[in-house]
Amino acid sequence: MSASVTLKVVEGPLLGREYSYERRGTLVVGSGVDCTIKLPMPSPKYLCIIRVAPPDMLVECSHDLSLVSINGQNVKRLKDRIPHGHEEEGEKNVYTLHDGDELKLSNTVFKIESKEPKPDDELLLKVIKVQQKRVEEEEAAGIKGYEIVRTLGKGGRGNIFLAKREGGDLVALKILSSAIASNSRHLDDFKREIRLTKSLKHKNILCLHEGGCSNGKYFLAHEYCPGGTVDQLMSSKGEVLGVDEAIGIMLQVLDGLDYIHNVELAMTMVLPDGSRRYRKGLLHRDICPHNIFLSGQEPSYVAVLGGFDIAVPLEISKDEVFGDIAGSVCYMTRNIFVHYDKPRKEFDIWAAAATLYNMLTGKFPRDFPEKCHDLWQMVLRNPPVPIRERNPEIPEKLASLIDEALIEDPEIRYKSVADFKKELEKVL
């Protein structure tokens, strides 16, 4: 039996409806026509987001908490439902849901049913935790074939070190933290990243040399880029890059992006007739200055796209669901919330245009209020600000192109990287 969650409507105009999920997903709830679960009026257009990771669920509320309650109590009073790690930022309004809960959203009440995975999954999790027990100690030591030189930084999944391989080559060595490696879902994501990226070979794509487990420690060895990342470059230059430099970097990123959108992956899919073939195309999902690395020396940098932690195949089998919304929210198109059912190339193209916007202005395309904790609400509600309102010195033709690339309604303008790059080259 696989893990699952079900939301049964037990009170309100939608009485009798059920919403069941066996895969991770992000559900937008409200009266808006593009909501995953559409509530009747007078519910707000976007009331909340429900994050599903069977058998677990979280409800992330907007600022209007008066319309959300769990088991008859307004969520403002449910401090014990704030997930670990959010205790000191309760204003983000994130609350856990449990099996048997009754969740009231506006005038609709949902009964929560949560089913645990089969026992084998729990046993596997225990085995993984035992295997990773020693990782907390001497984290940087013991990866066979690598000598640690120094620490480069800390990522969301572990520490990153500059290391020397046997033979003398320098690499960026990422070692998963024990907390991440002991989580079966995160470990599956790690293995998928290796499987998806090990065959990528392009001058503008960060090269994965090796990935695996050594002495109970899971690691990735990537190409080392001594120029750092684009966000570090921006910090060294007052947060804004010149037009020529920014476009030069972005054109190289687009070359790499076009490659991954069309490359044959080392992963098969099931066709309608039952046969299998290799999948084509990879959706990056997290294009931003932090994930663009710089190789070589200024001003002749080679821009390299990395950060494939949450990348997914563009092609999915008929029994697969693309429902896990992930990435850097400030560079995310609202359309990913509307069309979350299928990976689309234009999600990455929009993020690339948003990244170029950020390089030229030092700001995000949308307005995000200071100390804003409901970023997804801003994505859904706020349209991009015309770029010349941020920086009037940007050439008019370039500004028009970027503004056009960030249009989302009724759809994103550019569907292929090649088309966007062609237009960008014209404004040089």
Q: Are 109 and 102 in contact (CB under 8 A)?
A: yes
The 3-state secondary structure of the chain reads: CCCEEEEEEEECCCCCCEEEECCCEEEEEECCCCCCEECCCCCCCCCEEEEEECCEEEEEECCCHHHEEECCEEHHHCHHHCCCCCHHHHHHCEEEECCCCEEEECCEEEEEEEECCCHHHHHHHHHHHHHCHHHHCCCCCCCCCEEEEEEEEECCCEEEEEEEECCCCEEEEEEECHHHHCCHHHHHHHHHHHHHHCCCCCCCECCEEEEEEECCEEEEEEECCCCCEHHHHHHHCCCCCCHHHHHHHHHHHHHHHHHHHHCEEEEEEECCCCCEEEEECEECCCCCHHHEEEECCCCCCEEEECCCCCCEECCCCCCCCCCCCCCCHHHCCCHHHHCCCCCCHHHHHHHHHHHHHHHHHCCCCCCCCCCCCCHHHHHHHCCCCCHHHHCCCCCHHHHHHHHHHCCCCCCCCCCCHHHHHHHHHHCC
Q: What is the pLDDT of residues 254-266, one digit of tens each?
A: 999 999 999 998 8
pLDDT of residue 41: 86
Q: Supply the mean pLDDT for the chain.
A: 85
What does pTM read for this prediction?
Answer: 0.73
**What percent of the chain shows pLDDT beyond 70?**
87
Q: What is the pLDDT of residues 135-184, one digit of tens each?
A: 433 555 668 888 888 888 776 677 888 999 888 889 999 888 776 777 77
Q: What is the pLDDT of residues 183-220, one digit of tens each?
A: 777 788 788 888 888 889 999 999 999 988 887 788 88
C-alpha to C-alpha distance for 94 and 75, rounded to whole angstroms:
9
pLDDT of residue 329: 87
pLDDT at residue 354 tops 90: yes
> Domains in the chain and their CATH numbers?
4-115 (2.60.200.20), 119-223 (3.30.200.20), 230-426 (1.10.510.10)
pLDDT at residue 86 tops 70: no
Mean pLDDT of 112-140: 58
186 vs 39 pLDDT, higher one: 39
Mean pLDDT of 74-84: 77
Q: What is the pLDDT of residues 287-308, one digit of tens each?
A: 999 999 999 877 788 999 998 9
User: To 10 degrees, the CA torsion angle through 313, 23, 27, 105?
Assistant: 180
Least confident piece of the model among 32-36, 76-80, 366-370: 76-80
C-alpha to C-alpha distance for 101 and 210, rounded to whole angstroms:
45
**DSSP-derived secondary structure for 193-220:** HHHHHTT---TTB--EEEEEEETTEEEE
